Amino acid sequence: MNYIKKYTLIVLTLIESTQQLHGSFNVTVLGTGYVGLVSGTCLAQIGHNVICADIDQDKINRISQGEIPIYETDLSDLVTQNMKKNRLHFSSNIPESIEKSDIIMIAVNTPSKENGQADLAALESAIASIAKHINNYKLIVIKSTVPIGTSNQIKILLDSLEITKSSFDLISNPEFLREGIALYDCLHPDRIVIGSTNKKATKIIKKLYKNLPEKTPIVVTDPTTSEAIKYASNTFLALKISFMNELANLCDATGAHASTIAYAMGLDKRISPEFLKPGPGFGGSCFPKDSFALVHMAKEHNVPFLTVQAALQANDFQKTVPLTKLKSLIGNLAGKKIAILGLAFKSNTDDVRYSPAIAIICALQQEGATIQTYDPQAMANMKKLYPQISYCSDSYEALTGVHAAIFLTDWSEFSALDLKKAGKLMFAKTVVDCRNILTPIDLIENGFEYQTIGNGGTKNNFFSYYFCPDLISRNVYR
Ligand SMILES: NC(=O)c1ccc[n+]([C@@H]2O[C@H](COP(=O)([O-])OP(=O)(O)OC[C@H]3O[C@@H](n4cnc5c(N)ncnc54)[C@H](O)[C@@H]3O)[C@@H](O)[C@H]2O)c1
């Protein structure tokens, strides 16, 4: 991660020096969550005047006082810098924020309903605000992930509300950033997708991104295809992870080694090495939610979408694997004290939405275990779901007196643990390493019993580590 951090900072400085050469827009981003806050900050960084607006007044007050409500590498510094330069503002006054800007970017939440369908209540309320407060030409940009066909429906709705045709254009511009590395992704996107059938709108949105530090491929298509691209990308990655998780389970049943397989597969350019790491299942706000939504859309249209359904089923199963491994090491869990290290759905974020940790904590409680947890950033969010479990101030406190520890995410501070010290604190030296972050030889030398996912299944198996370059360049597979 450090190389990305350094590189991002160098590039940000370069952008600073060149941005005055180009024109800037007044942009309002509606929704100041993971996507809205990061996108708004990046747009300010490349020279635009940005208002990040949100209906959550408390959130806006906190950010205005310098308290960033989410954890994202470098975000706090960049928000402060751009606020000082008077390019980045925060407001809960939605009408005024809409009136002041030429471009209104919608980045509100679109969570899953119980039946898997995307809940568009926040989007509809944002659109209603725009319709009410539009005072001159606006380019409305839908950045939220919305079901295929939504932009066209909203356009029809806005037209029916008699907003004159010249007063707005509406385009789709989905966001592909990854939490944990969101600023980098926002400033260095692999591609920009624009769903627009209007030349003026396309020209404006291209100009908005003109100051990005690198030449970025731009795909201009119709809004419906643009919305579909976002779902296709996320659900394909969900499929890839589920495939690797199932393969890893087969490796554990047969004695094969998933990390070596992933390395060899990844050398094939058609496959790429990304997203081939087995683990405790995918989570986060996007892959589960967007997979549910795609399956729901397919059902609505009587189109079978078995692959994504299977990826979701495989993911549910995968969340049970850590406890199966744990039981193979320590037997019955009733009355045992278990440490969980890593609560967010992955490292470098505080986001616990659909995190595998949620299912694992629930199952441990049902089995009668007590739980001690630690996560560098996600404890406050997990506390809202599980206030009654024990939250510790660091990994060593979480490990004190436990019968076993489960490592669920690959924070670098977990892989850097002093295992000798950890072993002395634990009641029993037992570990389930769901991310292959601990060095097997260190575990064995310090007297641990451990299980991993996809390394041949047997206890204390370190064969694959000798053959897998992944140990040396772990970040390749992030
Ligand atoms: N989180 C990600 O990694 C990611 C990546 C790409 C795309 N997306 C998509 O981007 C969208 C936003 O996701 P997020 O994770 O940032 O959500 P989030 O829940 O973190 O933030 C959404 C924000 O919108 C605000 N909001 C709701 N209704 C509003 C309204 N009418 N006006 C103004 N603000 C309003 C909420 O108060 C909240 O602060 C979703 O559609 C998501 O699928 C998310």
Cα distances from 473 to residues 6, 259, 273, 437, 470, in angstroms, run: 18, 12, 12, 12, 5
Q: Render pLDDT for 145-178 as a digit per residue (tens, 0 to 9).
A: 999 999 999 999 998 887 765 689 999 999 999 9
**CB contact at 8 A, 193 and 227:** no
Which pLDDT band, with edges at 50, 70 and 90, does 473 fall under? Answer: very low
What is the amino acid identity at position 460?
N
Q: How far apart are CA 291 and CA 339, in angstroms?
A: 31
Query: What is the model's pLDDT at position 165?
Result: 59
CA of 176 to the centre of ligand 1 (A): 13
Instruction: Give the distance from CA 95 to its chain's centroid.
Output: 30
The residues, any chain, with a CB within 8 Å of residue 153's CB and separated by 6 or more, are: none
Query: What is the model's pLDDT at position 389?
Result: 97
**Which one, of 459, 434, 440, lies nearest residue 328 by Cα?**
459
| Residue 40 scores a pLDDT above 80 | yes
Pocket of ligand 1 contains residue 97 by CB under 6 Å:
no
Q: Which residues of 194-206 are buried (b: 16+ CB within 10 A; e: fewer)?
A: bbbbeeebbebbe
Is the model more confident about 138 or about 464? 138
Q: Which of 108, 190, 352 has the most ligand 1 atoms within 8 A of CB, as the residue to mutate?
A: 108
Query: What is the model's pLDDT at position 316?
Result: 97
Find the mean pLDDT for residues 271-276: 95
Pocket of ligand 1 contains residue 234 by CB under 6 Å:
no
Query: What is the model's pLDDT at position 15?
Result: 46
Query: What is the model's pLDDT at position 13?
Result: 43
Query: What is the model's pLDDT at position 162?
Result: 74
| Residue 17 scores a pLDDT above 50 | no
Residue 475 DSSP one-character state: G
| Residue 10 scores a pLDDT above 80 | no
| Residue 213 scores a pLDDT above 60 | yes
- How does DSSP assign 38-97, residue by residue? HHHHHHHHTT-EEEEE-S-HHHHHHHHTT--SS--TTHHHHHHHHHHTT-EEEES-HHHH
| Residue 1 scores a pLDDT above 60 | no
Pocket of ligand 1 contains residue 40 by CB under 6 Å:
no
Q: Render pLDDT for 67-78 as a digit per residue (tens, 0 to 9).
A: 999 999 999 999
Q: Which residues pair with 455 in a beta bridge?
A: 257
Pocket of ligand 1 contains residue 144 by CB under 6 Å:
yes
Q: How many CB atoms lie within 10 A of CB 74?
A: 16
CA of 54 to the centre of ligand 1 (A): 10
CA of 109 to the centre of ligand 1 (A): 3
Pocket of ligand 1 contains residue 126 by CB under 6 Å:
yes
Q: How far apart are CA 185 and CA 182, in angstroms?
A: 5
CA of 34 to the centre of ligand 1 (A): 7
pTM of the model: 0.92
Q: Which of 41, 177, 231, 285 has the most ligand 1 atoms within 8 A of CB, as the residue to mutate?
A: 285
**CB contact at 8 A, 308 and 233:** no
CA of 304 to the centre of ligand 1 (A): 29
**CB contact at 8 A, 357 and 391:** no
CA of 445 to the centre of ligand 1 (A): 47
Strands (E), 277-425: 337-341, 370-374, 390-391, 404-407
Q: How far apart are CA 127 and CA 138, in angstroms?
A: 12
**Which one, of 354, 232, 345, 235, lies nearest residue 291 by Cα?**
235
Pocket of ligand 1 contains residue 55 by CB under 6 Å:
yes
The residues, any chain, with a CB within 8 Å of residue 94's CB and separated by 6 or more, are: 30, 53, 55, 129, 133
Q: Ligand 1: which atom is nearest the Cα of residue 108?
A: 24
Pocket of ligand 1 contains residue 293 by CB under 6 Å:
no
| Residue 464 scores a pLDDT above 70 | no
Domains of the chain: 2-221 (3.40.50.720), 236-473 (3.40.50.720)
Query: What is the model's pLDDT at position 457?
Result: 76
Ligand 1, atom 37, lies closest to the CA of 56
Residue with tokens 């601990």: 438
Find the mean pLDDT for residues 455-475: 57
Q: Ligand 1: which atom is nearest the Cα of residue 30?
A: 33
Q: Render pLDDT for 405-454 as a digit per residue (tens, 0 to 9).
A: 999 999 999 999 999 999 999 999 999 999 999 998 899 999 999 999 99
Q: Render pLDDT for 121-154 as a digit per residue (tens, 0 to 9).
A: 999 999 999 999 999 999 999 999 999 999 999 9
Q: Ligand 1: which atom is nearest the Cα of residue 110?
A: 41
Q: How far apart are CA 241 and CA 229, in angstroms?
A: 19
Query: What is the model's pLDDT at position 462?
Result: 60
**Which one, of 435, 448, 420, 426, lies nearest residue 336 by Cα?**
426
What average pLDDT is seen over the chain?
92
| Residue 324 scores a pLDDT above 80 | yes
Would you name the residues annotated as active-site residues?
Answer: 286
| Residue 93 scores a pLDDT above 60 | yes
Pocket of ligand 1 contains residue 180 by CB under 6 Å:
no
Pocket of ligand 1 contains residue 35 by CB under 6 Å:
yes
CA of 270 to the centre of ligand 1 (A): 33
Pocket of ligand 1 contains residue 98 by CB under 6 Å:
no
Q: How far apart are CA 266 and CA 262, in angstroms?
A: 6
Find the mean pLDDT for residues 349-355: 97
| Residue 368 scores a pLDDT above 70 | yes
The residues, any chain, with a CB within 8 Å of residue 230's CB and separated by 6 or more, are: 145, 174, 175, 176, 193, 290
Q: Ligand 1: which atom is nearest the Cα of residue 351?
A: 1
With H, G, I as helix, E, B as strand and everything else as coil, classify residue 219: strand
CA of 175 to the centre of ligand 1 (A): 11
Pocket of ligand 1 contains residue 72 by CB under 6 Å:
no
Query: What is the model's pLDDT at position 463?
Result: 53
| Residue 300 scores a pLDDT above 90 | yes
